[in-house]
Amino acid sequence: MFRISLDQASLSEEQKRTLHEMWLRCMRRIIVSTTLAGSGHPGGSMSSLHLLLMLYSTISHAPGDPCWDGRDRLVVSMGHVSPGVYSVLSEFGYIEEEDFLAGFRRAGSAFAGHVESCVPGVEWNTGVLGQGLSAGAGMALALKLQEKRNRVFVLMGDGEQQKGQISEARRFAAKYGLNNMACLIDRNHLQIGGSTNAVMPQDVRADYAAAHWNVVYIEDGHDFEQVFQALRKVYLCEAGDPRFPSAIIARTVMGKGVSFMENKAKYHGSVLSESDAAKALDELGLDNPIAGFKQKRAVSPKAEKCLSRDLVYPAQIETGEPRTYGPGVSTDNRSAYGAALEDLARLNNSGKVPKIVGFTCDLEGSVKMEGLRKVSDNAFFECGIQEHHTATASGAISREGFAVFFSTFGVFGVTEVFNQMRLNDINATNLKLVCTHLGLDVGEDGQTHQCIDYISLLRNLFGFSIFMPADPNQTDRIVRYIAERPGNFFVGMGRSKLAPILDESGNPAFGGDYRFSPGRADWLRQGADAAVIACGAPVHEAVKAADDLAKIHGVKPAVLNFASVRPLDGESIARAAGTGLIVTVEDHHADTGLGSMVAGALAENGRPCRLVRLGVKKYGFSATPAELYSAEGIDREGIVRAVLQARAG
Ligand SMILES: Cc1ncc(C[n+]2csc(CCOP(=O)(O)OP(=O)(O)O)c2C)c(N)n1
């Protein structure tokens, strides 16, 4: 494999010649792939090509073992330059050129329009601009914690610099001294809408310098020697203050190498016609393989060898003995979460490298992460009011061998950062997103803080389990359960103090030997006259309502706690339908949460049953949770009323 050491003072003539030949072959691939596909992004692929080639020539990597532990990480944040990335990966032997050219942007092929990590050599799926620097920061933090010497590089566009998340990532990387990372910016001064200055003026160099990054500017990002010298400067810690990360800003030209494409914003996302592609290839002195490949593309793409990544997760997480909160104890779920997290940190973070890692955004006390911080300060990251960055960075580090908890309020950890969570999910992260202050249970902070869309949003993410513990005992057990498992988990809770839920004999329903089991509802009360299905804080109201209905009205409903919202317990729903009446209760938008899931399950299974869905039907007031629950009819009285009315017809 072609490799250049950053210890050498400058590039040899032979290396320059080789690099030029590589560049020509990659230019051919970029032109041919995009013209064959009839879509794609040739302009940025060409402007960043010298940067990519020099990166792959100098970083530590092993094409035969793309997930090699000792590799440097390269995140291509501007995922639209996939033709350039795949071209360079062909050059370095990660993939076969022919598979890429025949399969680019086709169903069944791994070579998607924006880079995906099923292609060997691609570290992180991107395409949603502005998230790559955060992902790189998460990886760099992981390497620091593990005391590894590998480095992280992030390639970004200059239009992309307009995203606010990048400022968040810059500050985070500086705060935590991530001098093992560097970014490279393809400064071609163009984006889709034209000049970057006209679209949104920005002083990229000043922005990085102001955040304490070392800035290296390259006058000509198409001069391999200049790119090499910039990387060398960073490598030798000569770029500035060695405690901080570095930014290499390279002046480049959109469409570089084809005279009639250069400096034209149009070629950001327009491809050459076949005749223009022929002209471009001719200008570069290259052969034209388009006709031959057209035939190859007439048949279905070969099933691509997709990279299956080894799961990197702590081999063994000690979960300890669950805590039981007895009948007399009243505490909030978030305190039970904090106590369980502290236990986990105590049990797992005494070695050189912590296993349990926590992130929050200026809400440490409210989300009860103080215990984790006190036990292992090195594993707790205060990220400031920078939720977008934190969502991505915590996702990225969760793929590097840590059990990662990100906690904030629901409106900030779900609603605010939905797209970051979506990209995490696409990247198969192992994040434990534990959100507090859900729903009307937030109370007087009012409607901006009352998150009522957590289920509806998270249901869209195929990989997220959704757990809503009913009380402190169940919270404790769910937190221990998720700690030892890879995958994405959401655990949601309100704000109020809750007494432990008691079973029909008066014992804590989720204390002692109870073990949480996803996809299994808890039948808290048995009854044949109706079934009340609830999750989260309203479970308490449902239990009280059932007791009232039995005592006062002689109606005996079953009560089911759906702590596992996803996976959903379809069997229990079918059984509950046997009562003829299901009432769902949730502190969530009434149309889009648990009730809608139950409705779907009933319809799909053809179960005839009356269904009443109680939930939030408007943005809430600034009032006590009790007042708010009463206003929406999701309190004890509201549930009693709903059951009696539905039974009366
Ligand atoms: C968050 C987000 N917003 C919008 C887009 C659509 N988009 C794709 S590329 C692009 C312009 C990027 O400009 P630049 O970073 O300069 O890349 P270049 O044009 O140089 O390839 C936009 C707006 C996106 N992918 N992500």
Tell me how far the alpha carbon of residue 252 lies from the centroid of ligand 1, in angstroms: 16
Tell me how far the alpha carbon of residue 34 lies from the centroid of ligand 1, in angstroms: 17
Amino acid present at 629: Y
| Number of alpha helices (DSSP H) and beta strands (DSSP E) in the chain | 24, 21
DSSP state of 508: B
Both 414 and 343 in a single domain?
yes
| pLDDT per residue as tens digits for the range 259-299 | 999 999 999 999 999 999 999 999 999 999 999 999 888 88
Tell me how far the alpha carbon of residue 156 lies from the centroid of ligand 1, in angstroms: 10
Output the six-digit token pair for 593.
């949460």
User: Hey, which residues does 19 pair with through a beta bridge?
Assistant: none
Both 562 and 439 in a single domain?
no
Tell me the C-alpha distance between 252 and 223, whole Å.
10
Judge if the beta carbon of residue 158 lies within 6 A of ligand 1. Answer: yes
Both 483 and 545 in a single domain?
no
Helix (H), strand (E) at residue 182: strand 181-187
Among 454, 483, 498, residue at a domain's last position: 498
Tell me the C-alpha distance between 339 and 345, whole Å.
10
Output the six-digit token pair for 74.
């390269």
Looking at the domain assignment, is residue 100 inside a domain? Answer: yes
Determine if residue 399 is left, alpha or beta; phi over 0 gives left, psi from -120 to 50 gives alpha, anything else beta: alpha
Looking at the domain assignment, is residue 515 inside a domain? Answer: no
Question: Nearest to residue 247, comparing CAs of 160, 172, 348, 154?
Answer: 154
DSSP state of 452: -
- Beta carbons within 8 Å of 340's beta carbon, 6+ residues apart: 322, 323, 475, 476, 479, 480
Looking at the domain assignment, is residue 303 inside a domain? Answer: no
Q: By alpha-carbon position, which residue is closest to atom 3 of ligand 1?
A: 129
pLDDT, position 511: 95
Question: Nearest to residue 133, comparing CAs of 112, 111, 164?
Answer: 164
Both 552 and 481 in a single domain?
no
Flag residues of the chain having pLDDT under 70.
302-305
Amino acid present at 291: A
Whether cis (ω within 30° of 0) applies to the bond prior to 301 is: no
**CATH number assigned to the domain comprising residue 99:** 3.40.50.970
Whether 167 contacts 134, CB under 8 Å: no
Tell me the C-alpha distance between 278 and 274, whole Å.
6
Amino acid present at 404: V
Residue 485 half-sphere exposure, CB side, CA atoms within 13 Å?
Answer: 15
**181 lies in which domain range?**
13-296
Both 572 and 427 in a single domain?
no
Phi, psi (deg, nearest 5) at residue 47: -70, -25
Q: How far is Cα of residue 344 from the mean position of the Cα atoms in its chain?
A: 23
Both 62 and 191 in a single domain?
yes
**CATH number assigned to the domain comprising residue 543:** 3.40.50.920
pLDDT, position 296: 87
Q: By alpha-carbon position, which residue is closest to atom 17 of ligand 1?
A: 157
Tell me how far the alpha carbon of residue 304 lies from the centroid of ligand 1, in angstroms: 28
pLDDT, position 328: 84
Q: Which of 34, 46, 80 to mutate to test the pocket of ligand 1 (most atoms within 8 A of CB)?
A: 80
Tell me how far the alpha carbon of residue 563 lies from the centroid of ligand 1, in angstroms: 40
Following DSSP, what letter does each residue of 458-520 receive, concatenated? HTT-TTEEEE--SSHHHHHHHHHHHHTS-SEEEEE--SSEEPPPB-TTSSBTTSTT----TT-
pLDDT, position 297: 87
Judge if the beta carbon of residue 129 lies within 6 A of ligand 1. Answer: yes
Question: Nearest to residue 585, comparing CAs of 637, 548, 627, 549?
Answer: 637
Tell me the C-alpha distance between 328 and 499, whole Å.
7
User: How many other CB atoms sit within 10 Å of the CB of residue 321?
Assistant: 9
User: Hey, which residues does 508 pair with through a beta bridge?
Assistant: 502
Looking at the domain assignment, is residue 258 inside a domain? Answer: yes
pLDDT, position 303: 57
Judge if the beta carbon of residue 78 lies within 6 A of ligand 1. Answer: yes
Q: Which of 126, 268, 419 to mutate to test the pocket of ligand 1 (most atoms within 8 A of CB)?
A: 268
Both 350 and 452 in a single domain?
yes
Both 183 and 151 in a single domain?
yes
Both 118 and 246 in a single domain?
yes
pLDDT, position 304: 58
Looking at the domain assignment, is residue 7 inside a domain? Answer: no
Tell me the C-alpha distance between 226 and 252, whole Å.
12
Tell me the C-alpha distance between 140 and 581, whole Å.
54
Taken as a whole, the chain contains a residue count of 649
Judge if the beta carbon of residue 191 lies within 6 A of ligand 1. Answer: yes
- Beta carbons within 8 Å of 206's beta carbon, 6+ residues apart: none
- Beta carbons within 8 Å of 434's beta carbon, 6+ residues apart: 337, 367, 405, 406, 407, 479, 490, 491, 492, 493
pLDDT, position 318: 97
Amino acid present at 475: T
Both 340 and 458 in a single domain?
yes
Number of domains in the chain: 3
Tell me how far the alpha carbon of residue 367 lies from the centroid of ligand 1, in angstroms: 35
Looking at the domain assignment, is residue 317 inside a domain? Answer: no
- Beta carbons within 8 Å of 396's beta carbon, 6+ residues apart: 124, 134, 135, 136, 137, 138, 139, 142, 427, 429
In angstroms, what CA-CA distances link 62 with 1, 69, 256?
Answer: 9, 10, 29
Output the six-digit token pair for 15.
């290396």
Tell me the C-alpha distance between 236 and 240, whole Å.
10
Both 69 and 141 in a single domain?
yes
Whether 78 contacts 129, CB under 8 Å: yes
SS3 218: strand
Both 253 and 285 in a single domain?
yes
Whether 614 contacts 638, CB under 8 Å: yes
Judge if the beta carbon of residue 130 lies within 6 A of ligand 1. Answer: yes
Looking at the domain assignment, is residue 65 inside a domain? Answer: yes
Looking at the domain assignment, is residue 308 inside a domain? Answer: no
Among 270, 296, 322, residue at a domain's last position: 296
